[in-house]
Amino acid sequence: MKLELHRVKIHKLAWGKETSARDGLLTVNKEELLTMLRKDERLAKVDLDFASPGESVRILPVKDVVEPRYKMEGPGGVFPGMVSDVETVGEGKTLVLSGAAVVTTGKIVRFQEGIIDMKGPGAEYTPFSRTCNIVVILENTEDLDKHDYETACRMAGLKTAAYLARKCLGAAVDSVETYETPNLKDAMAAHEGLPKVAYLYMLQSQGLLHDTYLYGVDVKKILPTLLNPTEVMDGAIVSGNCVSACDKNNTYSHQNNPIIHQMFKRHGKDFNFLGCIVTNENVTLADKKRCSSYSINLAKTLGVDGLLISEEGFGNPDADLIMNCWKAERAGIKTTLLTDEYAGQDGASQSLADSTPEGDACVTAGNANEVVVLPPMDKVIGVPEEANVIAGGWQGSLAEDGTITVELQAILGATSELGFTKLGCYTI
């Protein structure tokens, strides 16, 4: 499969008579976009706003972030099974509005949504302080079921992202990135002497609004499967999660998964990257055993020498992560784990809910319980009072002057287990 990402760089946002991109400026026809979104009868109110890097703006609570993309050429369409048909994607040409992001906000399950600050100390923890954000502000109709509201919010974000990119199909392209993967027969015979490596891609699927979708299917309903990395870039994986903001893999981070991008860069040099094994994180022990065993059996069938395993979430999914680790290691497959930690505000507690001696190669995205103080912003898009009830906050987190004291858990993408984060470390 060969996929070309045609990137149109966006540096500024403005309202205008037509939606278009030119010279780094994304102009949006506000009324046209609102008319499209207001067709969903599950939403009582829809509005739009902008939030750009460096502005004194806070967005709270955030549900999802989506990068605007649209198919220029090739089979299928972006977000298959959601806003386009369920044809297989990952080939052809896709337009990307690079630097722009669609951010959805609105009360859903409240305690599981997060914060984006566009400047100040909070901006140092979220990657979305650097994107030009088109914020979709959503309010549900009275007595609407939370699952229906989540669906309406999810679809509003995806439709907005597809609309923006579709309207910019004629824009001048700034750069083109090409990603190509051979069929499995050729891949297995390529790069003799290099270890064969696959990516075990764990997706949140605990239910109760802890959901992820693959080609429109709730992944808790699937057995682990092999996925081409370029399919992920075309929106085959979509977030439906209302989980802790710091390590929620929003749709934007799936589209730009840094693990996949880095493995492409090292493919043919350090190892032979064979693709992604997509698995889920269910709640029952039987489901965990079934999907873990099936995932590792897929890896054994491929004959891989190593697995990079990324988690999504914490607590219950730690059991899936560790089970995948020791089952792979005992099958002779070396593993590296990518997770984050919940080590308490003082950093002295056990970081993961489970462990194994085989888990001796682990990358951490940071301690989500670390406390930060976010100064007041001149403008808040959303509902600032949610700071008192979101995960990582508490009653009294929001001060009268607008200052918010929270754990990193409350900041979107602060400890991303895909490595889509601004945290890092160095040796002293």
Q: Which of 132, 168, 242, 246 is flagged as catalytic?
A: 242
Q: Which two tokens stand for residue 81?
A: 């099974």
Residue type, 272: N
Evaluate whether 250 touches 213 at the Cβ level (below 8 Å): no
Which residues touch 265 (CB under 8 Å, ≥6 apart)?
none
Closest by CA to 125, choosing from 392, 381, 350, is 392
Q: Measured between alpha carbons, how far is residue 396 from residues 48, 115, 390, 406 in Å? A: 29, 16, 12, 10
The rounded distance, in Å, linking the Cα atoms of 351 and 348 is 8
**Three-state SS sequence of 234-277:** CCCEEECCCCCHHHCCCHHHHHCCHHHHHHHHHECCCEEEEEEE
Question: Residue-wise over 110-149: b if at least 16 C-beta within 10 A, else e?
Answer: bbbbbbbbbbeebbebbbbbebbbbbbbbebeeebeebeb
Active site residue 325: no
Q: Can you give the C-alpha Rg of the chain in angstroms?
A: 21
Mind telling me the catalytic residues? 242
